[in-house]
Structure formats: C-alpha cells, structure tokens
Amino acid sequence: MNTRKRIGFAVAVGGALLLTAVGVFAFNDKEARSLHGEAETKERGFETMAVTPDNVANCVEPKAPADLGIVPLQNAYAQIARIMALEKTIAIKSCACPYGLVNWDEVVDAAPGYERNDGAEIRFDNVKLRLRADALAATLKTSCGG
C-alpha cells in the first residue's frame, strides 16, 4: 500500500469509529436525559409526554368573527373593540376585564368613526389602532396599580 491509500484507509476507519461513538452516545437514553437535566424514570408512559397547559388569564383580547371581512378588517375591528372596551373601563374607573363591555354590533356601528381620512384605499390604519389600544391598555394598567 502506498502512503495515500494508507491515509485514506485511516481516515475512513477513523471516521467510522467516530460515527459509531457518536451514535452510541446519542442513543444512550439514560445519558441523554441526564445531560439535559431530565429526571430519570423507570417507566416513561404517556403521562410524562403530556404538555402542561399554560396559565391563560380569563381576560383575553377579542378576536373578530370571520364574517366581518378579510383578515386586515378583522384585525381592525378587533382593535376597535379593544379601544372601545378600554375607554369604557377607564371611564367607569374599573380594573375588571374590559373586553366583556362591548359587543360586535356596537363595534361595527362605531367603525366609521375609526376610518382613515387621509385618502388611502385601506379603510383602517391598523397600526394606529393598535398603538391607540396599547396606550389605553397601559393607562388602565397604570391606574390599576399594575
């Protein structure tokens, strides 16, 4: 064997050994779990695979119904609902969840007051609506000590 063939053979054998070592290490479940800080269990049943639910607050922002139009319109209506609900909550000086104070009929009726007036083809400026709603939410949070 010449030198090139010997080097090639050594690299091939070394690579195979390295892949084998990596494979053994990667498939050793006990070591893999201990490396990731997971507790060792003798029996890994379905219960251990279950994902614990997030703590979701009961007070969630409104999502517009699909029949109100395409997604940008739905988003605009949702922001208008937030604005109206937050304004009502601030006006009555309440710290309760604001989103139950308005319904979608009220939002649709009030929507023309939130339309753009700058001549753009898009009916609502969703960015400005979101910023206004976020500012009202921050005001409510501050006034409620949060």
Write out pLDDT tens, residues 36-81.
444 444 455 545 455 544 444 578 888 899 999 999 999 999 999 9
Judge whether 16 lies within some domain. yes
Statement: residue 125 has pLDDT above 50: yes
Residue 80 backbone phi and psi in degrees, to 5: -65, -40
Determine the pLDDT at residue 53.
47
**Are 77 and 119 in the same domain?**
yes
Number of domains comprising the chain: 2
Residue 32 or 143, more confident: 143
Determine the pLDDT at residue 73.
94
* Cα dist from 91 to 6, 96, 97, 107, 139, whole Å: 85, 12, 13, 17, 11
Judge whether 128 lies within some domain. yes
Supply the range of the domain harboring residue 121.
66-143
% the chain with pLDDT above 90:
49
Q: Within 13 A of 62's CA, how many CA atoms are on the CB side? A: 27
